[in-house]
Amino acid sequence: MPDKETLERAERDKREGKSPSTQAGEFVREEMHHVREGKHGVRSTKQAIAIGLSKARRAGVDLPSPSGNTATPELREKAERDEAIGESGRQPSPRRARATRGALKREGRAGASHRALSRQAHSAARRRTRTQRSRTAKKAAATRKRSRS
């Protein structure tokens, strides 16, 4: 279950008209904090991001299922399941949640380090074209809060 503050921040992003990926970023951020404070570990940075995105979908963020060649059929199915759970609002069984947490506790903590995050962001950006990066930056600038001076 996401923290109350995370849900509030995501809700605020939604009200401000920010994209679903920005709203989901709050859940990913929370997951990184969990790993850093030792609540559990992750095998990789991608796993930490995936956990955060899953939580976002379950919390009702309107994130589309991954498309293209990068997404395996299993990943697509998981995303669709998470969306359905987000709409129905049902909770996972305590036994399963405990088992998942136990497995994650045995993983390392390096996946949420600044260096690992930087490497992940760099490789993700390299997969996108200059036009895509430019379009995203312009869209972000349009919803950015104006500073009052």
Residues 122-134: pLDDT tens digits?
Answer: 999 899 999 999 9
**Residue 32 in contact with residue 55, Cβ under 8 Å?**
no
| pLDDT top residue among 31 and 2 | 31
Residue 144 pLDDT: 78
pLDDT computed for residue 147 by the predictor: 58
pTM of the model: 0.84
